[in-house]
Amino acid sequence: MNKDFLKLARQNQKKAFEIIQILNIYPAWESVGGQVNLIGSLQTGLLMKHLDIDFHVYTPQLKLSDSFYAIEKIAEHSGVQKIEYANLLTDRDACLEWHLYYNDSAGNTWQIDMMHIVKGSYFDGFFENIAAQINRKATQQQKETILRLKYETPDHEKIAGIEYCRAVLQDGISTYPEFIKWREKNVFNGIWEWQPE
């Protein structure tokens, strides 16, 4: 394998930023007063095979019409194949959840998650802080370990990026068999309010 996985990571991360530009994601949300924050694996340089891009978008008040308008602008591109929506405004998340599926020129499908969140609600800034902490505290070697573990994960396995980060940064996991055993003892429940120390 050598460092082939690092080359793939660089290619996918470069492509992700190109897609953000193609779809005009920032201007679409900013047109309705949104503050757009990139979070997740792309923000931390840890995007690998699972082609996903994650955003949190904040507005002081949340109007359904504004959210739908921004999504409509993004969906004007012919590469957008499907959009899923969930209204979680009455939950602790206090957000509208958008999942957009985009086919790039090579035929790969990207999932773009955009959470439109009420500013000042429970998760305001939380995941941005996790990304910042990972960027501050993870060494280059740790980041390469996370990318390698992601690369070695079978394509059909759905594992949250935060699981890799916690396993490596908190518990020093370095091989995929170790990671599988670690996951048996650390069951992911959808959201972990964990940050690297």
Position 121 scores a pLDDT of: 86
**Range(s) within the chain of domains with CATH label 3.30.460.10:** 4-124
Q: Which of 103, 89, 120, 94 is nearest to 51 (CA)?
A: 103
Compute the distance between CA of residue 153 and CA of residue 175 in angstroms, rounded to an integer: 11
The tokens describing 16, both together, are 């992700």
For the packed helices 176-185 and 140-152, what is the interaxial angle rounded to 10 degrees? 90
Average pLDDT over residues 123-137: 92
Sorting pLDDT into bands at 50, 70 and 90, what band is 188?
A: confident
CA angle 48-122-84, nearest 5°?
A: 50
The proportion of the chain whose per-residue pLDDT surpasses 70, expressed as a percent, equals 97
CA-to-CA separations, 64 to 37, 38, 165, in angstroms, rounded: 19, 21, 34
Sorting pLDDT into bands at 50, 70 and 90, what band is 19?
A: very high
Average pLDDT over residues 65-90: 96
Q: Which CATH superfamily is domain 4-124 in?
A: Beta Polymerase, domain 2 (3.30.460.10)
Sorting pLDDT into bands at 50, 70 and 90, what band is 2?
A: low
- The yes-or-no verdict on residue 18 having pLDDT over 80 is yes
- The yes-or-no verdict on residue 1 having pLDDT over 60 is no
Position 187 scores a pLDDT of: 84
Sorting pLDDT into bands at 50, 70 and 90, what band is 86?
A: very high
